[in-house]
Structure 1
Amino acid sequence: MRIPIRSGNIRKPNDMMRLIVTAFVGTVFGFFLGVSFPTLSLTKMNLPSTLFPSVDLTYIEDKYSGISTKALLDVWSSFKSNRGISTRLYKFDGTKIWVPSNPQGAERLPPGIIESESDFYLRRLWGQPSQDLTIKPKYLVTFTVGYDQRNNIDVAVKKFSENFTVLLFHYDGRSSEWEEFEWSKRAIHVSVRKQTKWWFAKRFLHPDIVAPYDYIFIWDEDLGVEHFDPEEYIRLIGKHGLEISQPGLEPNSRLTWEMTKRRGDSEIHKITGEKPGWCSDPHLPPCAAFVEIMAPVFSRNAWRCVWHMIQNDLVHGWGLDFALRKCIEPAHEKIGVVDSQWVVHQSVPSLGNQGQAEGGRAPWEGVRERCKKEWTMFQDRMANAERAYFQSMGVDPSQFNGSIIK
């Protein structure tokens, strides 16, 4: 028997092709239509959990929302710029903030809230913050002190006007006793027993803390300031372009270097003569580009470099004075001694007495021995660091004939 076949039961080939093409086009259109609109948050729809008994909606949303969010940001970027919303600095993850140009560690904060620097300005506990300061000091002066030198410090501090923030580093733990001086109530006091000036400086004078100050004075406690005017001193170092400086020292038997000796016939000097064989180059320490560590004054920019050079464990600072030139270029022109504003180094061995008597020796003997050791250690570290750097750059350090590693 023949089985009747109806022609309507079999689709023609061209009909089948049209069906396939239509389905494909519809699928592609639906995909692009879906990614062009915000993802519908299933977790925010109050749907009964019974509709999805074994499906974690949060997981579905987290796993697949990234695709549509990225597409949405790409499509809407032009609209956002027209509405004043800039996305160039931001890498969005939903509503999270990520700003690569922020300081390291603060990338999650909006730039408008970033305070990358600080200061020592004292603030009130009441009133409007904008009314706290009647004047913002432009300079910072620090003294590392013991209570026994209070009268000398009293005289010195009174030389500095309200343009200076005064910061005292106390190495003997007797900070509260300084309240007998009226100015002490406005000063900043940091007290840590048996520590040195450079230990304090490394920990409390970070460049981002002292950034508001044009100049930073880091002074010892045994300086006579009868012939010193801070405001005139600042005028002179600005006039002569000194980034690192010190006042001249009154000539006496305690002077070590010719460079820091006061000259009576000039405002400043930047170069000197020394004992035969002491200066291999007239532009290098101790004949030029040199000040001592007892009373240095740093510009803001110079201090940023010097702070990074101070070693955490080498607390006496011996050797720093020979390396300060590495932070200024040209050093022999921007480091100098101010002759017309001078001080007297009284050489009071108070910090040496904070040492410990060992092996029958006086406390100061152990302190002095460590000072000398630190000088050698610092020189070795600097030389090794420079040598390693130049070798890493494929440069033979010996070609400089010692003019760099020194």
Structure 2
Amino acid sequence: MKLAIMGNPLRGYGTPSSDYSFTSESFVLFVFNDCLTIEFLLGCSGSIRKPNEAMRLIVTTFIGVVFGFFLGVSFPTLSLTKMNLPSSLFPSIDLNYIEDKYSGLSTNALLNALSSFKGRRGSSPKPYALNDTKIWVPTNPPGAERLPPGIIASESDFYLRRLWGLPSEDLTIKPKYLVTFTVGYDQKKNIDAAVKKFSDNFTIVLFHYDGRTSEWDELEWSKRAIHVSVQKQTKWWYAKRFLHPDIVASYDYIFMWDEDLGVEHFDAEKYIKLVRKHGLEISQPGLEPNKGLTWQMTKRRGDSEVHKDTEEKPGWCTDPHLPPCAAFVEIMATVFSRDAWRCVWHMIQNDLVHGWGLDFALRKCVEPAHEKIGVVDAQWIVHQGVPSLGNQGKADGGKAPWEGVRERCRREWTMFQERMASAEKAYFKSMKIDPSNSTAP
């Protein structure tokens, strides 16, 4: 007698009726949706010679297939390994393998598998798989084109976060403004007084050029400040490396201040209100006229809230809308809007760390510059003129440390002007524009 086991259609290859062959009682085994159906065949061994016997075999096989299918889809999943079938009956079938491979398959999955099986015998395409899908979004920030736009965090901030709790509960207030001071420990008292003029709406960042940071912890506010310590560097060196526009994008205004400023007559919140009122994108507080004054433009006026132009010495201003008579502030206590800073940051040179010459070029970042750059007279400061950074220089060739620093400042001013002029000339040439015909200031 010959035992024929009808193969599971999910195999996807070969001929199901030829999968297994055993010597035993004659029956047909059908497996659908993990349910086992056994149909005994009528007839005897040997070839089928009579037509009626052949027809009976065909009909019986078909009925067994249909019955097994409906039995499989009508009852809960049946584990083959839990059926009490004698192991001698299936000596070469690994029931554990069958169960692991097909456990949990639904009727739909079975039908899909049957369709897939038929497709493999033809030329149908490979089934869709999520992990095979590639993402490419050209409008994403450079380098992030392979990411879905919804996950991209292209901007950051200086907000301090906790190590516990929910992220959404970390901040009781989100500061809207940023103020930075480039400091040495010797100016701690002055910086302490200055910081207290800024409310909780301001994030405080200290750039330490002398490497001393832990001593500041005795000040209560210092524990909430951001401290960046790199020795013997200037505020423009720090700004280029730690104030990228995408880092400070959450702040409406960025204060870039020196450490030697007296702030007795200054209130930061009132200053912001005046800046907004007069539409200033780049500004500074007015300077006390009797000390530390270099330019007439930055001199405080007692009869106005804000001024945007001035008169200088004869010959100093080729145009009343150009520096130093207009569109001009100094770099000691500059305040930038978010948009203006994004432009200025790109203009800062990596190697020209003192920033001399920047104040004459700031006008290129706003339009019209003579209306959006100005001095706030109603909130004014005192420039104390402490040459602390000069002491961080190095004595060379018989010169004092501060002399070498000042010499480099002047040299950088010339270098910056030359670079700007060369860059503009190259641009106009590439665009085939004659700058002498331009009416722009």
User: Residues 69 and 94 of structure 1 are in contact (CA less than 8 Å); yes or no, is this contact kept in structure 2?
Assistant: no
Shift of 1:68: 7.5
Measured at CA, do residues 96 and 270 of structure 1 come closer, stay the same or move farther in structure 2, by a change above 3 Å? same
Cα displacement (A) at 1:391: 0.8
| Rg comparison, structure with higher value | 2
Q: For residue 405 of structure 2, what is the amino acid of its counterpart?
A: V
Aligned-partner SS, 1:259: helix
What are the equivalent positions in structure 2 for 1:162-311 lying under 5 Å apart?
162-311=200-349
Q: CA deviation at 1:398?
A: 3.1
The one of 399, 406, 411 equivalent to 1:373 is 411
CA 1:95–1:265 in 2, change beyond 3 Å: closer, same or farther? Answer: same
The residue that corresponds to 2:182 in the other structure is: 144
1:19-58 equivalences under 5 Å are none
SS of equivalent residue, structure 1 residue 296: strand
Find 2:428's aligned residue among 348, 373, 390.
390
Q: What is the deviation of 1:333? A: 0.2
1:31 aligned residue: none
CA contact (8 A) 2:330 2:359 kept: yes
Residue 121 of structure 1 aligns to which amino acid in structure 2?
Answer: Y
Letter in 2 for 1:161: S
1:211-242 deviation digits (Å, cap 9, x = unpaired): 00000000000000000000000000000000
TM value normalised by structure 1: 0.77
CA–CA distance in structure 1, aligned partners of residues 155 and 409 of structure 2: 33
Query: In the TM superposition, what is the alpha-carbon distance from 1:253 to its structure 2 partner?
Result: 4.5
Q: Contact conserved, 1:291 with 1:321, CA < 8 A, in 2?
A: yes
For residues 49-88 of structure 1, what are the structure 2 equivalents within 5 Å? Answer: none
Determine if contact 2:292/2:382 at 8 Å carries over to the other structure: no
CA distance in 2, matches of 1:46, 1:140: 68
Q: Kindly tell me: are residues 45 and 99 of structure 1, through their superposed partners in 2, closer, same or farther at Cα, counting changes over 3 Å?
A: farther
Question: How far does the alpha carbon of each residue in 1:321-368 deviate from its partner, in whole angstroms, 9 at most, with x for none?
Answer: 000000000000000000010000000000000000011111000000
How many angstroms apart in 2 are the aligned matches of 1:139 and 1:46?
A: 68
TM-score by length of 2: 0.71
Report Cα offsets for 1:272-317 as digits up to 9, x if no partner.
0000000000000000000000000000000000000000000000
Residue 133 of structure 1: which of 166, 171, 174 is its match? 171
Which residue number in structure 2 is paired with residue 108 of structure 1? Answer: 146
C-alpha distance in 1, partners of 2:398/2:13? 84
Q: Tell me which of 351, 356, 361 is aligned to 1:318.
A: 356
The equivalent position to 1:342 in structure 2, one of 374, 380, 387, is 380
CA contact (8 A) 1:353 1:364 kept: yes
| Larger RCO: 1 or 2 (CA < 8 Å, sep 6+) | 1
Give the superposition deviation at 1:379: 0.2
Letter in 2 for 1:226: E
**What's the secondary structure of 2:420's corresponding residue?**
helix
Alpha-carbon distance between aligned partners in 1 of 2:13 and 2:403, rounded to the nearest angstrom: 80
**Superposed displacement of residue 69, structure 1:** 6.4
Deviations 1:235-262 (A, max 9, x none): 0000000000000000124311000000
State which drifts further: 390-399 or 144-153: 390-399
C-alpha deviation, 1:205, in angstroms: 0.3
Q: In 2 relative to 1, CA 231–45 (structure 1 residues): closer, same or farther, beyond 3 Å?
A: farther
Where structure 2 has 5 or more consecutive residues not aligned to the other structure, the ranges are 1-10, 15-122
Q: Secondary structure at the match of 2:205?
A: strand
Seq. identity, %: 80
Provide the C-alpha distance between the structure 1 equivalents of 2:380 and 2:410, rounded to a whole number of angstroms: 27
Q: Distance in 1 between matches of 2:290 and 2:394?
A: 30
The count of aligned residue pairs is 322
C-alpha contact (below 8 Å) 1:198/1:317 kept by paired residues: yes
For residues 101 and 93 of structure 1, do their structure 2 counterparts lie closer, same or farther at Cα, with a shift above 3 Å needed? Answer: farther
What does the per-residue CA deviation read over 1:126-171, in whole Å, with 9 as the maximum and x for residues that have no partner? 1111100000000000000000000000000011110000000000
Residues 250 and 46 (structure 1), Cα distance of their counterparts in 2 relative to 1, 3 Å cut: farther
Deviation, 1:97, is 1.8
Q: Which amino acid aligns with 1:177?
A: E
Match of 2:398 in 1: 360
Task: Tell me which amino acid in the other structure corresponds to 1:140.
Answer: L
Alpha-carbon deviation of 1:94? 3.2
Helix, strand or coil for the counterpart of 1:235?
helix
**Any idea what SS the aligned residue of 1:210 has?**
coil
Find the residue that maps to 2:390 and give its secondary structure.
helix
Compared with structure 1, are the counterparts of its residues 339 and 94 closer, same or farther at alpha carbon in structure 2 (3 Å cutoff)? same
The CA RMSD over aligned residues, in Å, is 2.0
Structure 1 residue 102: Cα displacement = 1.3
Aligned to 1:332: 370
1:400 deviates by 4.1
